[in-house]
């Protein structure tokens, strides 16, 4: 009686791992055209769309319009003395790529950062890879 239950538990764990992996892949796919911007000062009752377009066009020298962006919003709970990141969801993947290509040149030396919008799982994998890379000669 115990062996069949152990086999069933093993099979269920395997299925759960597959479902989690597929769920992560789907979530990451839904974030395909997203970026996260860190360091844009937060104001009460701000218009995130206008603020982001101004940042992208003035700081990065790009020419985005509202029609290029699906939506923009801050993530996380508001906290005193802390600026929340902004998520920008572009209408087209190529717009995201354009921003990621130019960010290193235009933001060098500034306290503004732009990253891909990764799932929690993928962010953990990236952080682990960076930690392992630090130890390499």
Could you report the per-residue pLDDT of 42-67, keeping only the tens digit for each?
A: 998 999 999 999 999 999 999 999 99
- Per the DSSP assignment, residues forming a β-bridge with 79 are 82
pLDDT of residue 137: 64
Give the predicted TM-score (pTM) of the model: 0.85
Predicted confidence band at 136 (pLDDT cuts at 50, 70, 90)?
confident
Supply the range of the domain harboring residue 20. Answer: 1-31
Q: Is the pLDDT of residue 11 over 90?
A: yes
109 and 51 in a common domain: yes
Q: Which residues of 36-51 are buried (b: 16+ CB within 10 A; e: fewer)?
A: bbeebeeeeeeebeeb
Residues 90, 122: one domain? yes
69, pLDDT greater than 90: yes
Q: How confident is the model at residue 117 (pLDDT cuts 50, 70, 90)?
A: very high
Same domain, 7 and 38: no
């Amino acid at each position: 009686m115990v062996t069949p239950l152990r086999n069933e538990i093993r099979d269920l764990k395997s299925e759960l791992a597959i479902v989690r992996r597929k769920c992560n892949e789907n979530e990451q796919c839904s974030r395909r055209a997203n970026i996260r911007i860190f360091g844009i000062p937060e104001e009460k009752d701000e218009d995130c769309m206008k603020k982001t377009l101004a940042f992208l066009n003035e700081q990065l020298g790009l020419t985005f319009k509202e029609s290029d962006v699906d939506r923009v919003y801050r993530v996380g709970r508001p906290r005193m003395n802390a600026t929340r990141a902004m998520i920008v969801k572009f209408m087209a993947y190529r717009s995201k790529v354009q921003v990621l290509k130019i960010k290193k040149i235009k933001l060098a030396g500034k306290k503004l950062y732009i990253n891909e919008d990764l799932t929690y799982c993928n962010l953990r994998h990236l952080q682990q890879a960076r930690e392992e890379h630090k130890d390499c000669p």
